[in-house]
């Protein structure tokens, strides 16, 4: 089943207004959710929407809370998300980082007390669309064991790096677990095994079964001990710069995942005197990459973000593929 973008957007707006959003904020929040599915990131668009609504119902997400600048340390602005709407707050903070970058080449916003920001790639794209490099990451609730340990103590702490490249920006959007929770949930919905061993079952055996990993909360970090270390440092960096909660503190909260610490960095390439040469270097690298002999004949070796435009175009023309049960759930809200 495929649903037109406008139809999905309108449905999100309807539900958000029903749950207390003012019209303007409902529009932007719905756009962020619908564009996520439009771009093919199905895990964090429509599929995530019911949980977002349930987080409003349970009082984790405060619909009317507005992010606030609470401090300035050199070029770093500290903001407090006041447990508001995760994607709207992230949007505001990325926009502010870009504004600061326009002024000073680099802008850094360190945000505390936000909720789940949904698809972080959206904020990376905002930067790239304004000729900025975007670098951002979040911590999460403990959902990944440290290397050599049995309990989930680390977050999988997604990282985004985006770079401008005309109509085809580079967009890396990766959790520090080999598979994101969204990807594993999607695989369960589709009845699929993971393509590689992605974590441990409750008996401590490596498995490709996403349901077993979701149950154990023991996904594999990327590069084993390396992703474990990266996750820890990303968490402590985010919490330190933001003056916000660490993954450990988030794990102590009775209400579940909230009060996340998130970092938004923008670097404005327009300030660089060799802007044209930077673009030429990016293009030469991407051309070299595209010329790589593929492991499987006929495949293309692609850069992160390369496939997005095509998916977006297809979904705009033919509708967004949806899981019918999730779509019906949203329509019934």
Between 155 and 194, how does the x/- string for binding to its own copies read (CB under 8 A)?
Answer: ------x-x------x-x-x---x----------------
Q: Is residue 108 close enough to count as binding its own copies by CB under 8 A?
A: yes
Any catalytic annotation for residue 271?
no
Instruction: Indicate which single residue of 145, 169, 199, 210 sits in contact with its own copies (rule: CB under 8 A).
Output: 145
Q: Is residue 70 close enough to count as binding its own copies by CB under 8 A?
A: no
Q: Of all helices (H) and strands (E), which one includes residue 110?
A: strand 106-114
Instruction: Indicate which single residue of 4, 40, 50, 304 sits in contact with its own copies (rule: CB under 8 A).
Output: 304
Q: Is residue 299 close enough to count as binding its own copies by CB under 8 A?
A: yes
Between 267 and 296, how does the x/- string for binding to its own copies read (CB under 8 A)?
Answer: x-x-xxxx--xx--xx-xx--xx--xxxxx
Contact 60, 83 (CB under 8 A): yes
Instruction: Indicate which single residue of 20, 59, 71, 256 sits in contact with its own copies (rule: CB under 8 A).
Output: 71
Q: Is residue 237 close enough to count as binding its own copies by CB under 8 A?
A: yes
Q: Which is nearer to its own copies, 46 or 125 (CB)?
A: 125
Instruction: Indicate which single residue of 42, 52, 91, 303 sits in contact with its own copies (rule: CB under 8 A).
Output: 303
Of the candidates 112, 139, 120, the residue with the CA atom closest to the CA atom of residue 251:
139
Residues 4-43 that bind its own copies (CB under 8 A): none
Contact 259, 83 (CB under 8 A): yes
Strand partners, 162: 134, 171
> Given the rule CB under 8 A, which of 54-62, 90-98, 263-271, 319-327 is the region that contacts its own copies?
263-271
Q: How far is CA 63 from CA 17, 34, 84, 238, 265, in A?
A: 10, 18, 6, 24, 25
Q: Which is nearer to its own copies, 138 or 246 (CB)?
A: 246
Of the candidates 163, 112, 96, 92, the residue with the CA atom closest to the CA atom of residue 134:
163
Residues binding its own copies: number (CB under 8 A): 72
Of 44, 82, 102, 271, the active-site residue reads 44
DSSP string, 22-86: -HHHHHHHHHHHHHHHHTT-GGGTGGGHHHHHHHHHTTSS-TT---EEEEEETTEEEEE-TT--H
């Amino acid at each position: 089943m495929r649903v037109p973008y406008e139809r999905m957007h309108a449905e999100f707006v309807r539900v958000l207004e029903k749950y207390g959003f003012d019209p303007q904020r409902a529009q932007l929040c719905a756009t962020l959710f619908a564009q996520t599915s439009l771009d093919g990131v199905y895990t964090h668009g429509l599929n995530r929407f019911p949980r977002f609504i349930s987080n409003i119902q349970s009082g984790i997400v405060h619909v009317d809370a507005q992010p606030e600048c609470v401090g300035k340390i050199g070029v770093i602005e500290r903001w407090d998300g006041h447990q508001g709407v995760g994607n709207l707050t992230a949007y505001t903070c990325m926009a502010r980082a870009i504004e600061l970058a326009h002024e000073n080449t680099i802008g850094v916003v360190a945000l505390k007390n936000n909720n789940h920001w949904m698809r972080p790639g959206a904020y990376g794209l905002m930067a790239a669309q304004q000729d900025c490099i975007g670098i951002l990451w979040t911590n999460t609730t403990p959902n990944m064991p440290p290397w050599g340990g049995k309990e989930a103590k680390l977050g999988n702490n997604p990282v985004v790096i985006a770079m401008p490249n005309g109509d085809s920006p580079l967009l890396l959007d990766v959790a520090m677990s080999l598979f994101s929770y969204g990807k594993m949930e999607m695989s369960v919905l589709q009845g699929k095994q993971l393509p590689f061993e992605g974590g441990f079952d409750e008996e401590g055996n490596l498995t490709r079964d996403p349901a077993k990993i979701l149950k154990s909360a023991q996904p594999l970090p990327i590069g084993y001990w390396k992703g474990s270390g990266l996750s820890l440092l990303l968490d402590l960096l985010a919490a330190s710069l933001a003056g916000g909660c660490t993954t450990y503190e988030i794990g102590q909260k009775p209400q579940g995942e909230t009060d996340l610490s998130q970092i938004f960095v923008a670097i404005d390439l327009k300030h660089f005197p060799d802007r044209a040469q930077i673009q030429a270097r990016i293009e030469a690298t991407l051309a070299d990459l595209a010329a790589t002999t593929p492991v499987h004949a006929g495949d293309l070796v692609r850069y992160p973000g390369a496939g997005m435009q095509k998916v977006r175009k297809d979904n705009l023309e033919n509708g967004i593929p949806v899981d019918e049960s999730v779509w019906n759930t949203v329509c019934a809200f």
